[in-house]
Amino acid sequence: MTRKRTRANGEGSIFPYRNGWAAYVWVTTPAGEKTKKWAYGKSREEVHEKYIRLQNESRRGSVATKVPTLQLRAAYWLKEVVIEPNYAPLAVVTYETYLRLYILPHLGAKRLDKLTVRDVREWVNKLRAACQCCAQGRDARRPEKHWNPKRRRHCCAIGQCCGQTLSESTVQKAVKILRSLLSNAITDELITKNVAASLRLPALRRRKAKAWSVDEARQFLESARNESDPLYAVYVLILVLGLRKGEVLGLDWKYVDLDAGELYVGEQLQRVRAQLLRRVVKTEDSEAPLPLPGICTAALRLRKQQQDRDREEAGERWQESGLVFTSPSGKALDPTKFNGRFDARIARAGIRRITVHGTRGTCATLLAALDVHPRVAMRILRHSNIKMTMEVYTDATDEATCEALRRLGGVLDGAAGPVEAERPS
So what CATH class is 214-415? mainly alpha
CB atoms within 10 A of CB 131: 17
The tens digit of pLDDT for each residue in 316-374 reads: 899 998 899 998 888 888 888 888 999 999 999 999 998 888 887 777 777 777 777 77
- Nearest to residue 114, comparing CAs of 73, 53, 69? 69
- CB 109, CB 73: distance < 8 Å: no
Long-range contacts of 339-343 (CB under 8 A, 24+ apart): 339/245, 341/231, 342/235
Beta bridge partners of 262: 257, 291
Distance of CA 128 to the CA centre of its chain: 21
The tens digit of pLDDT for each residue in 39-93 reads: 888 898 888 888 888 888 788 777 766 778 999 899 989 988 887 667 778 888 8
Give the C-alpha separation, 58 to 29, whole Å.
Answer: 9
- CB 361, CB 211: distance < 8 Å: yes
The tens digit of pLDDT for each residue in 248-278 reads: 999 999 999 998 888 888 788 888 777 787 7
User: What are the residues whose beta carbons fall under 8 Å from the beta carbon of 399, sequence distance 6 or more?
Assistant: none
Can you give the pLDDT at residue 8?
Answer: 45
Give the C-alpha separation, 291 to 376, whole Å.
Answer: 7
Beta bridge partners of 34: 28
Average pLDDT on 1-18 reads: 59
Give the C-alpha separation, 409 to 236, whole Å.
Answer: 10
Residue 180: left (phi > 0), alpha (psi -120 to 50), or beta? Answer: alpha
Higher local confidence (pLDDT), 205 or 223: 223
Give the C-alpha separation, 314 to 311, whole Å.
Answer: 5
Which CATH number is associated with domain 70-130+165-198? 1.10.150.130
Average pLDDT on 108-124 reads: 92
pTM of the model: 0.69
Average pLDDT on 391-411 reads: 55
Domain spans of the chain, in order of start: 14-60, 70-130+165-198, 214-415
User: What are the residues whose beta carbons fall under 8 Å from the beta carbon of 303, sequence distance 6 or more?
Assistant: 233, 324, 325
Roughly how many angstroms between the first and final C-alpha of the chain, as a whole number?
A: 86
